[in-house]
Amino acid sequence: MDRELDKNSEKLFDLIESRNWNQLTLEEMQFVLLHMTEDEYHFQRQILVEADDIFDENLEAKPLLLPAKKVTPIFAISIPLYQTILAVAATVLVFLMLWPNNQEIERPVIRPVAQQKQEIKTNFVHDTVVKYITLTQIAERVVYDTITAVVQSNFKSEEPRLFQANNNLPILDLSPEKLEVRGSSLKDENTIGLLPKMVNTIY
């Protein structure tokens, strides 16, 4: 019965919500009567209509109060546990890597149980051969030079001067007596004799 009601609940809802009992067709009435009485149908419909007036709708909501923007202090920020664990593990790892290891490692003392005579044979294995090879190289160096200018030197023989002095010129006596001035005229000049004769002839 309940399964049948489940199956027909949507159709029953459509009828109850939309139509009065007397508005139903005969077929619909028969369908409804399979699940409820006429009074029940009527009563359920009344409940739906009355729903409107049950609550007092005159209440007003309080004014909207928006909170001021919060600044979360750093110690109040929550972080996931796995992040904390990772951070601690990373710190420990870095600490261990950077911290100098001053502790001496205790090495186990090896005590021979029985003395063994060991004979060491040395076998030389020549795994590295060093060979010196002397290479003689003749280096030639050709220097190419370009002569850009030719310097010509012309030597000319010295031409004879117009008044070439000979070695037979008399050496003049230039004693102070001879140079003494006796008058104001040129004729009184003792040095007049030094002048060429050609000039003398003019006077």
Partner 1 sequence: MVEIIVHHSHPALTILHERYSKKLLGYFIKMLQNDQEKAQDFVQDIFLKIIEKKHLFDTDKKFYTWIFTIASNMCKSEYRKPFFQSISTDEYELQSKAVFSDDLSEKERFKQIYKASLAQLEMHHKTTFILRYMEKFSLNEIAEITETSVGTVKSRLFYATKKMAELLKEFDPRYENNLFKMN
Chain residues that interact with partner 1, rule: CB under 8 A: 6, 9-10, 12-14, 16-17, 20, 39-40, 43-55, 57, 59-67
For partner 1, the closer of residues 70 and 131 by Cβ is 70
CA angle in degrees (0–180, nearest 5) for 94-98-101: 125
Query: At closest approach, how far in Å is the CB of 23 from partner 1?
Result: 12
Give the CA-trace dihedral at 96, 101, 102, 107, to 10 degrees.
120
Query: At closest approach, how far in Å is the CB of 28 from partner 1?
Result: 15
For partner 1, the closer of residues 55 and 132 by Cβ is 55
Label residue 32 exposed, middle or buried (CB < 10 Å: 0-12, 13-18, 19+).
buried
For partner 1, the closer of residues 68 and 113 by Cβ is 68
For partner 1, the closer of residues 37 and 91 by Cβ is 37
Query: At closest approach, how far in Å is the CB of 60 from partner 1?
Result: 6
Residue 44: which residues within 8 A CB-CB, separation 6 or more? 16, 36
Query: At closest approach, how far in Å is the CB of 73 from partner 1?
Result: 21
For partner 1, the closer of residues 52 and 106 by Cβ is 52
Alpha-carbon span 112 to 115, nearest angstrom: 7
Query: At closest approach, how far in Å is the CB of 81 from partner 1?
Result: 25
- Full DSSP string of 84-97: HHHHHHHHHHHHHH
Three-state secondary structure readout of 18-86: HCCHHHCCHHHHHHHHCCCCHHHHHHHHHHHHHHHHCCCCCCCCCCCCCCCCCCCCHHHCCCCHHHHHH
For partner 1, the closer of residues 60 and 159 by Cβ is 60
Query: At closest approach, how far in Å is the CB of 33 from partner 1?
Result: 15
